[in-house]
Structure 1
Amino acid sequence: MRGSPAPAAAEPTALTEEVGGLTAGGPWWTLWWVRVLGVYLGARVVTTVILLSFAAAEGANAWTAASPDYFSFANLWDGRWYEIVAGGGYPASLPTGDGVHVSENAWAFLPGYPWLVDAVMFVTRLPWAPAAVLVSFVAGAGAALVFHQLMRRVGLGRSASLFAVVLFCFSPVSPLFQVAYAESLYLLLLATALLLLVERRYGWLFPVVLAMAFTRPSGLAFALALVLHVGYRWWRRRDDPFPVRERVLSVTLAAFSGLAGVAWPAIAGAATGSWTAYTDTELAWRAPYIGYTHLLPFAPWFQGADWWASAMLGIPGWVGVVALVVIVALFGVLLFSPAVRRLGVDLRFWIAAYSLYLFAVFFPQSSTFRLLMPLFPLLGALALPRSRVYRVGMVVLFVALQIGWVAICWTIDGYDWSPP
């Protein structure tokens, strides 16, 4: 991958450019952070209307009464697992449904988010559901603010950076910014980590990487992105100096991120006495699709392509596999497109590393849309066209896709096999 090196630390950051340019001496509503928060709040109003509309039509289910209130509706699915972690921790022994195979349990859910919500509950005396929504809502606002600065830092103009935030806030899975899920907190940490990486502030990355690794599985993917970053800087060291101090810090950070990525599986193994506790727990969620299997890297997507084609569409499984290969090839081409190249080499390293991580370990099903959220820097490429018709059309499309996502993934219709 090619791209220009990051500006030297002594140059003005996106924040100082904003303060020194557009907003200096101007009215308060021209402040970049006011505009970003205005977009975020407006998007959350739209999403709240969508969620309340579906909640009003929701029937009685295993988790809520008919027509639940907002906070009950926002605490479905993984929100209940996080509540279990916050209230009772993790099981000392792995549960099994048949005495042999590990069944779904709390070890699949990392402790960063529920412990933070637990702390907010202690301070505010709020019950779980509103405290969890509050943490997600505030973290989502922070993620939008940092994302704007990240887009400015990689060279997008003010208009494109703000519209990238619009797409981020109205994205099809943006309801997760106001429900009891860990994604908001994780995206805030990830956006911060990417901004620090672009600015080459390696020392500050250590605590952020650690917090990320205990919020959502990410350490191995970020470690790979760091390895690519270090390799690229070494290759360009004659044109872009790579001082010894930065070499030591960046290499140490890559190793630290890799260790952080395996820390939670190791903790689960030590606590339960089974060193495959975490992977066995994760595999339990795909058992309803393809039965109990071992984790074979890079096999899940091909297994999923075969299953979706044959079991769901009634066509030969090889058609699904061919379609998957075509999609992967097109995605690889996308990474080298002019629009994506505008994002800079470091963000493309992250996009490639996280995509490879997903391709290696994840089985594609209804939560795929949520797990694609860390690829949010790609929204910067979608934000480049300046046509007003295009931009309005994208917002309308994203709101429509929000409605579709809530209808398919969030609402419950009896036995629902499509969790978000």
Structure 2
Amino acid sequence: MMVVLAANQDQNAWTGASPRYVDFASMWDGRWYNIVAVSGYPSLLPVTADGHTGENAWAFMPVYPLVVRALMVLTGAEWAAAAVTVSVLAGAGAALVTYRLLRTHLDANTALFGVVLFCAAPLAPMFQVAYAESLHLLLLSTALLLLVRRRYGVLVPVIVVMGFTRPSALAFALLLGLHLIVRIATRTREPFRRGEAPALIAAVTVSGVVGLAWPAVAWFVTGDIAAYTDTELAWRSAYIGYQHLVPFTPWFQGFEWWFGRPVGWAAVVVLVVAFAMALVSRPVAALGIDIRLWLASYALYLLAVFFPQSSTFRLLVPLFPLVGAIAAPRSRLYRVAVVVAAIALQWVWLLIAWRVDGYDWTPP
């Protein structure tokens, strides 16, 4: 699909007409990661004509571009080829760890089909583009597996690296806090082993600190306390103008922009209720309490801070354990239909979000 689209891609801001596959796969935010890998981060924030912070590299965390840069130095590869290679390898690793994660509560057949869905999902093309999602999923699936296995001490360094790959550490801190409460409440059935409680408390603390660290780093380098949040807000200014970040308002703002009021606001409420009902459904409950706590924590994080637009589909990728619930039915007809539908939706997503069509306002 990517090769076909690349062959038919017109000249755009990132490539010439009919670009090579690796150039086509490193468009959009891939250029920002390239800038970070080559030039680092600006000490002076760009300012728009009306005095607001403009789009800049502080929105993109450093681990993925540094890993790609290391591969470039070691092999002499160009950015595009190295970036795609890192993403493909990390995606493959994430698929393997996801199988281990699903097997903690599901039988082998269901877990393996869950991995099929993981690899064929509508946004599976993200595993082969110059974005940090593949590497983040590898770290996130590993962190969840370590949590399920109660390997709290080993979990801490994974949290640190993950938190500087994609914004997720605050959601993971919420998960760990809820997990600690559950462990305390169920300590008669599952008592803490020696050293577990201090290690878990340390993991909660580290995750919270890491979640706040990147905005602090941006403040330290630029001297602007709001450097990171203002940078993130720059991307939504094309929709609703420049506004302050007020937690739990972006989805209402976004759906009002898309559908108007009160339909947009009602749609947000319906989505929240539907997701809550899904969390208590039997297929999702079969994933185990820790996975459900992650799904709830990350969804709450998205609801609090992210503005819904075309890239929101990409931001839903960390909810990947839901493939285990979707994989539950054993009907062969159902399974074939789900895979076919997922691959068809890959094509839809690529046409809408990845392919550049003139002045394109649907970034992936």
TM class by smaller structure: over 0.9
TM-score of the superposition, structure 1-length normalised? 0.86
Q: What is the rounded CA distance, in whole Å, between the counterparts of 2:194 and 2:63 in structure 1?
A: 34
**Which of 119, 127, 134 is 2:70 aligned to?**
119
Structure 2 residue aligned with 1:358: 302
Structure 1 residue aligned with 2:205: 255
Per-residue CA shift, 1:57-116, capped at 9, x if unaligned? 111112111111101100100000000000000001110112520000000000000000
Secondary structure of residue in 1 paired with 2:119:
helix
Say if 2:13 is the partner of 1:73: no
**Which of 6, 12, 15 is 1:64 aligned to?**
15
Within-5 A mapping of 1:239-278 = 239-243=189-193, 245-278=195-228
Deviates more, 1:238-247 or 1:180-189: 238-247
Say if 2:114 is the partner of 1:170: no
Structure 2 residue aligned with 1:404: 348
Structure 2, unaligned runs of 5 or more: none
Residue identity matched to 1:393: A
Say if 2:33 is the partner of 1:89: no
Q: What root-mean-square deviation, in Å, do the aligned CA atoms of Structure 1 and Structure 2 show?
A: 0.7
Residue identity matched to 1:127: E
Q: What is the rounded CA distance, in whole Å, between the counterparts of 1:60 and 1:94 in structure 2?
A: 29
Q: What is the rounded CA distance, in whole Å, between the counterparts of 2:180 and 2:267 in structure 1?
A: 34
Per-residue CA shift, 1:106-129, capped at 9, x if unaligned? 000000000000000011110000
TM-score of the superposition, structure 2-length normalised? 0.99
Q: What is the rounded CA distance, in whole Å, between the counterparts of 2:332 and 2:172 in structure 1?
A: 36
Residue identity matched to 2:329: P
Shift of 1:243: 3.6
**Which of 319, 334, 354 is 2:263 aligned to?**
319
Deviates more, 1:337-346 or 1:53-62: 53-62
Within-5 A mapping of 1:15-414 = 50-98=1-49, 100-153=51-104, 155-243=105-193, 245-310=195-260, 317-414=261-358
Q: What is the rounded CA distance, in whole Å, between the counterparts of 1:299 and 1:61 in structure 2?
A: 34
Per-residue CA shift, 1:171-192, capped at 9, x if unaligned? 1011010110000000000000
Per-residue CA shift, 1:16-63, capped at 9, x if unaligned? xxxxxxxxxxxxxxxxxxxxxxxxxxxxxxxxxx11111111111121
For the pair shown, which has the larger CA radius of gyration, 1 or 2? Answer: 1
Deviates more, 1:273-282 or 1:92-101: 92-101
Secondary structure of residue in 1 paired with 2:30:
helix
Per-residue CA shift, 1:396-416, capped at 9, x if unaligned? 000000000000000101111
Q: What is the rounded CA distance, in whole Å, between the counterparts of 1:99 and 1:336 in structure 2?
A: 47
Q: What is the rounded CA distance, in whole Å, between the counterparts of 2:160 and 2:45 in structure 1?
A: 26
Q: What is the rounded CA distance, in whole Å, between the counterparts of 1:365 and 1:193 in structure 2?
A: 28
Q: What is the rounded CA distance, in whole Å, between the counterparts of 2:269 and 2:14 in structure 1?
A: 39
Shift of 1:373: 0.3
Per-residue CA shift, 1:336-385, capped at 9, x if unaligned? 00000000000001000000000000000000110000000011000111
Q: What is the rounded CA distance, in whole Å, between the counterparts of 1:102 and 1:322 in structure 2?
A: 32
Residue identity matched to 2:293: F
Task: Give the total of aligned pairs.
Answer: 364
User: What percentage of residue pairs aligned between the two structures are identical?
Assistant: 58
Deviates more, 1:255-264 or 1:58-67: 58-67
Moved over 3 A (4+): none
Q: What is the rounded CA distance, in whole Å, between the counterparts of 1:127 and 1:409 in structure 2?
A: 25
Q: What is the rounded CA distance, in whole Å, between the counterparts of 1:84 and 1:101 in structure 2?
A: 21
Secondary structure of residue in 2 paired with 1:264:
helix
